[in-house]
Amino acid sequence: MSIGLQKPVYTPFRGDYKPFSIGISPLEMDRWIEPDEDIGFFLEEKQRLGREVFDAIYKGEPETDASQHEVLQDLSDWLVANRPDVWQRDGTRIHVAGQTVDLADESLPPIVRAGLLVQDDLVLMRRGEDGWRIAAAHLAFPSSWSLEDKFGKPMEKVHAEVPDFKGGTRNATMINRMFDNFKPGMPVKRFNWTVNWSDELHLPATKTHAPNFAARSVMPGDSFIRIERQSLIKMPVSGDLLFTIRIYIDPVKAMEENPELGAAALSLADQLEGLTKEQADYKGLTEKRPALVEHLREIAKRHATA
């Protein structure tokens, strides 16, 4: 992915937001989806991945067909009503960033048609006897996880490897309770972040864990901050939950070049240093953490004395 050195859109590692916390906040519905100038690249990548690894980026239980159609209908209606400068509708077709998606194209599952309209990945959650599970998803840009591994599993198993979110933990209990209490028309958002040594959008577990981006040969200044802007909204008809995940990738070099980001560099250093060993291991940062922290503190110091 070609990434410039512009100021990051989001810096969730600043302020009171802590890693490995639920950290939800209300989301204004008119800001549900946030397109930017990279939308064409994102959508081209989704089309390419659909041709090359479709079974890895789409899964869906047969019983979710009606709910998937609800997602497609509600999302497409929102897009053309709220951002007609980006999405234009012509009958059953929607034009976006030089591409056209036919909403009536039954050769693709409804949630895939919806996913090809936006930069966000779409994950449909359904309540079962053992809790909320992933029942359908169009996941083109995973961050170190596999849809095949997580599909159909309740949240406790989805988060089995995540520190502080395993089954029986306070966070795991809170997530199920929170999902149960969601109401239509009251969406929420949250953020997640990590530091990677690749700017690829499609990063399933197989790419990140082996060979771990050849991390030993990459300098801290060549790393990238990968941010997920997530939203959660309850579908009014099916009662399922739609989880959206939008990826932002910001080079650490942007912090070096922009004096306004000195405080952000210091905050990121503090967050990295504050991770427990288990948390750092999970994020794949144990080996590189000391060098990253030192580099970020040097950036902050340089900007502070400039």
Mean pLDDT of 54-73: 98
Q: What is the pLDDT of residues 188-210, one digit of tens each?
A: 999 999 998 889 999 997 654 44
pLDDT recorded at residue 2: 45
Domain boundaries, the chain: 25-251
Of residues 132, 69, 60, the one with CA closest to residue 103:
69
| Long-range residue pairs from 96-105, CB within 8 A, at least 24 positions apart, any chain | 96/39, 96/43, 97/39, 97/40, 97/43, 98/40, 99/40, 99/43, 99/44, 99/47, 103/72, 103/76
pTM reported for the whole predicted model: 0.92
Across the chain, what does the average pLDDT equal? 90
Sort strands 188-196 and 224-234 into parallel, antiparallel or unpaired.
antiparallel
- Strand residue runs (E) in the chain: 25-26, 58-60, 87-90, 93-96, 99-102, 121-128, 131-138, 188-196, 224-234, 241-251
Q: What tens digit of pLDDT does each residue of 164-177 get?
A: 777 777 777 888 88
Give 294 or 161, the one with higher predicted confidence. 294
Q: What is the pLDDT of residue 5?
A: 56
Alpha helices in 116-216 (DSSP H): 147-150, 155-158, 170-181, 205-209
The CA-based angle 132-170-139, given to 5 degrees, is 40
Highest mean predicted confidence (pLDDT) among 22-31, 202-211, 232-241: 232-241
The per-residue pLDDT for range 262-285, each reduced to its tens digit, is: 999 999 999 999 999 999 988 888
Per-residue pLDDT tens digits for 124-138: 999 999 889 999 999
**pLDDT confidence of residue 162:** 82
